[in-house]
Structure 1
Amino acid sequence: MCSVTTPYEVAVIDEIQMIKDPARGWAWTRALLGLCAEEVHLCGEAAAIDLVTELLYMTGEEVKVRNYKRLTPICVLDQALESLDNLRPGDCIVCFSKNDIYSVSRQIEIRGLESAVIYGSLPPGTKLAQAKKFNDPEDPCKILVATDAIGMGLNLSIRRIIFYSLIKPSINEKGERELEPITTSQALQIAGRAGRFSSKYKEGEVTTMNREDLRLLKEILNRPVDPIRAAGLHPTAEQIEMFAYHLPDTTLSNLIDIFVDFSQVDGHYFVCNMDDFKFSAELIQHIPLSLRVRYVFCTAPINKKQPFVCSSLLQFARQYSRNEPLTFAWLRRYIKWPLLPPKNIKDLMDLEAVHDVLDLYLWLSYRFIDMFPDASLVRDLQKELDGIIQDGVHNITKLIKISETQKLLNLENLSAESRSRLQGPLKSQARRTRMAKTSGSRAAEPSGPGAAENSLASRLVQQGLLTADMLKQLEKEWLTHRTERDKERTESGAYSKGSRRKKGPDSD
C-alpha cells in the first residue's frame, strides 16, 4: 500500500479501473482519495472517468480528462487457430489456468518449437526475463504462453493474441468462485497486447483456439464497456479500534463481520469482500497482539491457497508477539536456504511460495522496521531465488515432462499395489467360479474391482473413465468388504467349534 502521509510532488496511479475490484478495489480508492500529492496522474480505462470525476468533484479537486487513441490498428480474425500446428512467430496463447499453461507448453515443445511462459505467481524478475527472451529477435523462442498477467506492466512484441479459452475463474462479491466468460474490459485489455506501437508488428491480430469461441469473442469485444458505478472501501484501523472500544472481548474477525453488517454506504461506494482479511484474522487469532498490529498483519497480501505462505504469516506474527526481531539469519534458517533448483513442477511451485514469503517479509518491514530489520539483505536473497526460479521456468517443459513421468509411475505403483493386495481374493474368486460351474450353479459371486487383466486399471485411468482417487476408493471398499466377510466367517467358525466342545463332555 502506498503511503498517504508522505508528501509528493507527482504521483501516478495505474490501472485505475481496479477501483471496482470486489476484493482489492479499496486500495485504489485509498490511493485516489488519500495520496498527499500536488498532482496525481491516473491511467486506465475510460469506464472509470465518470466515477472518478464525481468522487473528486465532491472533494473539491480539479480534474482534467485526456483521451488517447491506440496508435496501431487491431483486427479480429475470421478464422480460429484450431491446431497448434498453425502457430507462427509472434503468437501469444492466453490461458486462464496453470494446467492449461503446462499442457500447451508441452504440446508446443513436442512440435519442436520453443516458448516463453508468463503467469501471475512468477516473480517480477522471472516475468521480465521471459518477456526479454520472447522479444529478442535473435532468440529462437518465438511463441509466448501466458495468462492475463500480460495485460498489465509488460512490454511485449506480440503479433497475434490467441485465446485458448474464454472462460475464466473469478471471485464474486460474496467471495464465491465462478466460471464465467471474460468481460469486455478483460478481453480488450488482453487483446490490446497485440501489435503495440513499440513492437515490430504494426498491426495486431486476435483470434481463438477453438472455432466455436470465435463468435463469442467478437460479441464480447463489440459490447460497450459498462461504466464503473462504485469504488471499493475497507474499514480502517482507526474505525476498527473505535468499534472495538465498545466490544472489547470480540475477536477481530467478528468485529469485521459486525462492522460490515452495520455499515451504510451511498451509491458511489461498496464495502469490499473481507474474506481474505478474516482468514488471516482467524489464523493469528490466538497470538497475543495489539489490535493495531493485528490489523496490519491481516492486511498483508498473502495467497491463502499456499500453506507455506500462511504458516509463515503465523510464524512472523508469533515472533513479533515475543518481541524477537526476525533477522536475516533467522529467515535463512526458516526457509532452509540455500535452496536447490526445481526438479519438477511441484518444486517450482514451492520456490514460488518461498518468494512470496520473502515478499511478505519486505511488506512487513515497511511497517515494522525494528522487527523486520534486514530488508536490504532479504532483497538480495530474493534476487538469488528469482534466478533459481528463472532457470526452472527456462526448463519448464523438462519439469512438466518429469512431473508427467512421476504421475505415471505413481499410477503404475498404485495399480501394482492394488493387484498385489487383490491377488488372493481374485484367486479365491476364480476357484469359487470354477466350482460353481462344475456343480451346475447358475450364479456366482461378483468379482472384485481388479478382476480383469493386469493393465485394466491403468487403461481406465488413461482413458479418463477412472481417476487415481476413484481407484483408491474402489480398492478401499473392496478390502473393507473382504475384511468384514472374513470376520463374519471367523466368528461363525468359532461359534461352531464352541458348540462342538460343549457337546463333547455330554456325549461321553
Structure 2
Amino acid sequence: MAHKPDMTSNSPAVSAVAAAIAETGLTVETRELPKLERTIARALTPGQDRVDDATFRAALCTVRRKPWGSRLMDLTRRAGQVWVTRADTEAAAATIDDPEPDDARLLDALSVVIRARLRASAPTPEAAVETIRADLFDGTGRILTPAETETLSRAVAEAFALDPRSGFVEGMRRDADIRRQEQEAIEQAARTRRTEEERRLQEWEASLVGFSEVPRLLRCSGKEALRWIAENRLPVARRVPQPDGTEHWEFDPRELVALRKHLPEWRGGAPSTPALVPDAGTRKVGNAVIARVAALDRYAAHFKTARALKRRITLVTGPTNSGKSHTALEALARAESGMALAPLRLLAHEFREALTARGVPTSLATGEERIDVPGSRHLAATVEMCPLHNPVDVAIIDEAQMLSDPDRGAAWTAAIMGAPARHLYVLGAPDCVPMVRRIAELCGDPLDEVRLERKGPLVTASEAVQIKDLKPHDALIAFSRREVLDLRALLVARGRKVAVVYGALSPEVRRAEAQRFNDGAADILIATDAIGMGLNLTIRRVIFTALRKFDGTQTRDLNAQEVKQIGGRAGRYGKHEQGIVAVLAGAGSVSFVRTMLAAPPAEPTDLRPQVQPDSDIIQAVAAEIGSESLFGVLSRIRRAVLRHDDPNYRLANMEQAFAIATALEGVTGLTLAQRWVYAMCPVDDRDNGIQRLIQWAADHAADRPVIPPGTGRLPPAERADRVELERAEKRHKRLVAWRWLALRFPDAYRASEDAEDATARLNDWIEDVLRQQSSRARADNAEQPAHKRPGPHKPGRSFGKGPAGNGRKPRSSART
C-alpha cells in the first residue's frame, strides 16, 4: 500500500520524508516508512527538516536492499542457479542506486558480483566449478544435477571469458552426466553386494544347531561335550542372550564333524594330527573360527616384535603442569634410538622440536605429513602412526587417559601393547593408572610407577568473575565454536585483544593463536576444551563459561577429569606463582569446580582395553570366509571376534569404519586393503565426509586423478564474516583428508604440492581473520538488539557440542 504523505507531524525526519516523496514522486510503502525515517534522521543536521534528492534516493535504496536480495534469491532459484548465495544477492543489492529497479536491473547487478566471485574462486574454470560444487555439498549436502552443473558452467565460462566454441560447458555437462550415472551404479552395486553378504550370513546362521545336537554329531556324551567346551576345544559358533540372563549356544555342524578325529586324543588316547581348518571355499566358516583367526582375544600376542623384546614400562602420572613430558624427554634424548607418540599433530611437532633443541635429529610422521631427517634414529609421530616393527631403546606415549576415549582408545591400546621399545614411558593423568596396569599385565611386561605433583599451586576463585573484570592472561572456556566466537565478538566490541582456540582450527592456526596470547598480542584467550591437551599457554586464570557440555550423546555436567585437565592449564610454572580456576558470573557454582578439583581419580567402569582389527587381521578374516567384501568382513568381525563377556578386551566403536565400508561396496576396482585404508580415513560425516570419500574412491578406482580441494574465494580478512570463516575451516578439513590419502595412494592423489599450498593459504587466511581486532566486530555487535547480543551464560545452560565444539572430537584433527 502506497504511503500518503502526512504533513502534520513535527518530526524533522517525518517532514523530510514527506517532502521528498512529494518532490520525487517515488512510491513508498507504509511498511518501509519507519526504517526510512530512521535512516533520514541520521542524515539530518540539527535544525534541518529537508534532504536533497540524492540523499533521499540513497536512503530509500538502503531500506530496500534486503527485499532486493530476497527477490534475487527467488529469481535465481527459479532459474536453477542453486549455487548463488545470500551473500551474493546482498552484495549485488548493495550496488544498486536506483530506488525502483526492475528484475533485469537486479540481475545485471548480480551478474557482476557472480562473475567476480567465480573468477576469484579458483585459478581455472574446471577448479571453479569443482569449488562451487564442493561448497554447496558441504553447506547443504546437495549434489548438482547435470542441468544445474550446465547452468553453473555457463556462468563460469562467462566469468573466465571462455570462447563459446571451447566446449567447456558441454564437457562439464557430459562429465556431470557420467558422474551421475556412476553414482547411481555405485549405489545399486552397494545394495546388491550388501544383500548378498547378508544372505550368506543368514544362511550360515540358519544352519547352526543347538547343544542338544552336539553329542549326536560329534559321537560323544553330553558330559564330554560340556567338558570340551569348557576347555575351548569345541567352538561355540554363536551365543544368543536370553531374557532370563542365560545364553543359548549354537554350533556349526560342519565344524563339529571335522573335529571327530580329535576325540581319541581328547579322551586320553593317541595324539592326533593338528586340526586343519577346512577350505573356506567349500564350507561355511563359523564365528569361532573367525574369532581364532582375528585373535583379538589374544591381542597382545599380535604385536610380535614387541613381545620378542624384553620390555619395561614406566608409567608417569600427574596433573597438568607436573612435568611429565620433561621427565620422559630427558630419557628419550639420552637414548641411542627412540620415538615419541602424541595424540595430536601439533604435539608431535612439539616433541620433535623439543628433541631437536636437545641436539637429537628427529624425523616426523603424522597422518598427513612426513619429515625424514637423514641419519635420524628418533621419530616424533601421532599415536596412530606408531611403527610396530622397528625396535628402539626408548619410546614415549603421551596422554594415556585417552585409553578410555570411545573414538580413539583402541589406538592407545595398540601403541602401548605394540610399541617395540625396550623401555616404554607412558604418560597420563592419574585416571589412566588402572588401565595401564591391566595392559602391562596382559603383555607380561614389568611396570614401574612414578607419581608427580603439580609444580605450582592450583586454587579455586572465591567468587564468580564478571565479564568486565577480565584481566590479561585470563582464558575463558566455552564448549562450542559458536560460543567462542560470540564471546570474542563481545570482548572485541569492548576493546579487548582476543585470541581463540577451538577444535575446527588447524594445528598451525591454534599454535599461532596461542603464540599471540603468550606474547601479549592478545590479552584474553577464548577456547573450547581443545586447550586441555597440548599447547603451552601462559594462563593465569582459567574461567569456565559453562559447567555442562554436550558430549556427542547427551548434555551433562563436566566430570572431575575434564575440570582438572582444563583447569590445570592455569598457572604455567615459571610464569605465574599459582593457577586460579574460576567460573564466569551466571555460569554456575564455584563450589562445583572446587569439588571436582578435589575429587580422587575416577575408577574406570571397565578395565578391558579397547581393540580393533588392523589390515593384517582384515586380510586374514577375508581369506578365511572367502570374501573380498570389507562390509562382509567387518560384519563377521562385529559378530565373532570378541564375546561381550571376554575377560580381557572389548571391541572398539567401529561405526564410522563400518559406514564407510558399507558405502564402498559399490566401488569396483579397489583391493580389500585399499578399502580398509579408506575406512580409516579421518572424515566427519556431519560434513558429508563419507559421501565425498566415496567420490574420491570412485575416481581412484577408475584410474582418474583425484583433484585436491581448493581454497575457494577468500575475501579480505578484515571483511570476512563467520559464514566465510566456517567455510574456510571446512575446506581445510577436506584438505586434511585428501592429504591423508595422498600419503597412502600417491599415484591417485598426485597434486600434493597444490594441496600443501592450499592448506598454507587457508591457514594464513584463517589466522588473519582471527587476528582482526577492528571496529567491524563492534559494529556488528552494536547493530544487534540488546537481547540477542552475546553475553555470559545463564546458570545451567550449555551450548557445547563436545571437546572440539561440534559434537565430538573431529577425526580430522584426532588422527593427524
Structure 1 and Structure 2 fold alike (TM over 0.5): yes
1:320 equivalenced with 2:725 (yes/no): no
Does the 8 Å contact 1:15/1:43 carry over to 2? yes
Aligned to 1:496: none
Are 1:275 and 2:655 counterparts? Answer: yes
Give the secondary structure class of the aligned counterpart of 2:593: helix
1:217 pairs, out of 551, 570, 593, with: 593
Deviation at residue 62 of structure 1 after TM alignment: 3.1
Which residue of structure 2 aligns with residue 415 of structure 1?
none
**In angstroms, what is the RMSD of aligned CA positions?**
2.9
Q: Is the 8 A contact 2:477 2:543 kept in 1?
A: yes
Deviation of 1:340 (Å): 4.3
Deviation at 1:206, TM superposition (A): 0.5
Indicate if the aligned counterparts of 1:21 and 1:232 stay in contact, CA closer than 8 A: no
Aligned with residue 114 of structure 1, among 497, 511, 519 = 497
Q: Deviations over 1:379-431 (max 9, x none)?
A: 3432222111111222388786798799x8xxxxxxxxxxxxxxxxxxxxxxx
SS in 2 for 1:40: strand
Residue 345 of structure 1 contacts residue 400 of structure 1 at CA under 8 Å; is this kept in 2? no
The separation in 1 between residues aligned to 2:587 and 2:484, in whole angstroms, is: 20
Displacement of 1:4 in angstroms is: 2.1
Question: Does 2:569 match 1:193?
Answer: yes
Query: By how many angstroms is 1:281 displaced?
Result: 2.4
Instruction: List per-residue Cα deviations over 1:183-210 (Å, max 9, x = no partner).
Output: 1111100010000114x21100001113
Superposition deviation, residue 39 in structure 1: 3.0
1:63 aligns with 2:447: yes
Q: Is residue 167 of structure 1 aligned with residue 548 of structure 2?
A: yes
Contact 1:126 1:390 in 2 (8 A): yes
State the 1:362 CA deviation: 2.4
- Relative distance call for 1:396 and 1:279 in structure 2 (3 A) is farther
For residue 685 of structure 2, give the secondary structure of its aligned residue in structure 1. coil
Please tell me whether residue 72 in structure 1 is matched to residue 452 in structure 2.
no
Greater CA deviation, 49-58 or 373-382? 373-382
Alignment correspondent of 1:90 = 473
> Tell me, what secondary structure is at the counterpart of 2:660?
helix
Q: Which residue of 1 aligns with 2:710?
A: 335
Q: Which whole-Å deviations, capped at 9, do the CAs of 1:68-108 have from their partners, x for residues lacking one?
A: 11111010112011x31121111111001112112211111
Query: Does the C-alpha gap of structure 1 residues 313 and 397 become closer, same or farther in structure 2, counting only changes over 3 Å?
Result: farther
Question: C-alpha distance in 2, partners of 1:402/1:301?
Answer: 38
Measured after TM superposition, the shift of residue 256 of structure 1 is 2.8
Q: Are the counterparts in 1 of residues 400 and 427 from structure 2 also a CA contact under 8 Å?
A: yes
Query: 1:481: which partner in 2?
Result: none
For the residues of structure 2 that align with 1:341 and 1:318, how far apart are their CA atoms? 36
Return the offset for 1:44: 0.8
The answer to whether the Cα contact below 8 Å between 2:517 and 2:524 also exists between their aligned partners in 1 is: yes
Query: How far apart are residue 253 of structure 1 and its match?
Result: 4.2
Give the stretch that moved more between structures: 362-371 or 38-47: 362-371
Distance 1:349 1:285, change over 3 A: farther
Hey, what does 2:130 align to over in structure 1?
A: none
Instruction: State the match for 2:759 in structure 1.
Output: 382
What's 1:370 paired with? 747
**Alignment partner for residue 525 of structure 2, among 128, 141, 144?**
144
CA contact (8 A) 1:358 1:378 kept: yes
Corresponding residue for residue 435 of structure 1? none
Instruction: Pick one of 427, 430, 435 that aligns with 1:46.
Output: 430
In structure 2, relative to structure 1, the CA distance for the partners of 1:254 and 1:187 (3 Å cut) is: farther
Give me the whole-angstrom Cα distance separating, in 1, the residues matched to 2:776 and 2:424.
Answer: 45
Q: 2:666 is matched with which residue: 286, 291, 298? A: 286
How many angstroms apart in 2 are the aligned matches of 1:246 and 1:164?
Answer: 54
1:298-320 Cα offsets, whole Å, 9 max, x none, are: 1111122223x444422321222
Is the Cα contact below 8 Å between 1:20 and 1:230 reproduced in 2?
Answer: no
C-alpha distance in 2 between matches for 1:46 and 1:315:
44
Q: What does residue 441 of structure 1 align with? A: none
Give the equivalent residue in structure 2 for 1:259: 637
Aligned mates of 2:787, 2:494 — CA distance in 1:
27
Letter in 1 for 2:740: W
1:127 aligns with 2:502: no
Distance 1:324 1:8 in 2: 40
**Deviation sequence 1:464-488 (CA, Å, 0-9, x none):** xxxxxxxxxxxxxxxxxxxxxxxxx
Partner amino acid for 2:684? N
| C-alpha distance in structure 2 between counterparts of 1:403 and 1:365, whole Å | 41
Q: Which amino acid aligns with 1:365?
A: A
Q: Which amino acid aligns with 1:203?
A: Q
Listed as ranges, the gaps of 5+ residues in structure 2 are 1-383, 790-816
For residues 109 and 303 of structure 1, the distance between their equivalents in structure 2, rounded to whole angstroms, comes to 31
Residue 475 of structure 1 aligns with which residue? none
Separation (CA, whole Å) in 2 of partners of 1:399 and 1:360: 34
Deviations 1:119-155 (A, max 9, x none): 0110111111111111113x2x211100001111101
Change (3 A) 1:117 1:12: same
Contact 1:344–1:400 (Cα < 8 Å) also in 2: no
Structure 1, unpaired ranges of 5+: 172-176, 409-457, 463-508
Task: Give the TM-score taking structure 1 as reference length.
Answer: 0.71
Residue in structure 2 matched with residue 416 of structure 1 by the alignment: none
2:731 to 347, 354, 363: 354
- CA gap 1:231/1:253 in 2 versus in 1, 3 angstroms: same
Distance in 2 of aligned mates of 1:341 and 1:258: 53
> Is contact 2:493–2:777 with CA below 8 Å preserved after alignment?
no
- SS at 2:433's partner residue? helix
Q: Which amino acid aligns with 1:207?
A: A
The reply to whether residue 103 of structure 1 matches residue 479 of structure 2 is: no
- 2:558 pairs with 1:182: yes
Instruction: Report the TM-score, using the length of structure 2 for normalisation.
Output: 0.45
For residue 27 of structure 1, report the CA deviation from its aligned partner. Answer: 0.9
Structure 1 or 2, whichever has the larger Rg, is 2
Residues 1:400 and 1:317: Cα distance change in structure 2 (over 3 Å): farther
Residue of structure 1 equivalent to 2:617? 239
Moved more, 357-366 or 338-347: 338-347
Aligned residues: 397
Instruction: Please point out which of 539, 542, 548 is paired with 1:158.
Output: 539
Q: Distance in 2 between matches of 1:94 and 1:271?
A: 33
3-state DSSP of counterpart to 2:737: helix
Instruction: Show the counterpart of 2:680.
Output: 299
Judging changes above 3 Å, is the alpha-carbon distance between structure 1 residues 246 and 405 closer, same or farther for their aligned structure 2 residues? farther
Q: In the aligned structure 2, how far is the partner of 1:100 from the partner of 1:293? A: 40
Q: Are the structure 2 counterparts of residues 115 and 192 from structure 1 closer, same or farther at C-alpha, using a change threshold of 3 Å? A: same
Native 8 Å contact 1:102 1:400 kept in 2: no
- Structure 1 residue 224 displacement after superposition: 1.5
- 1:285-344, Cα deviation, whole Å (9 max, x unpaired): 32122222111101111122223x444422321222112344xxx32xx42657445622
Give SS of 2:428's match: coil
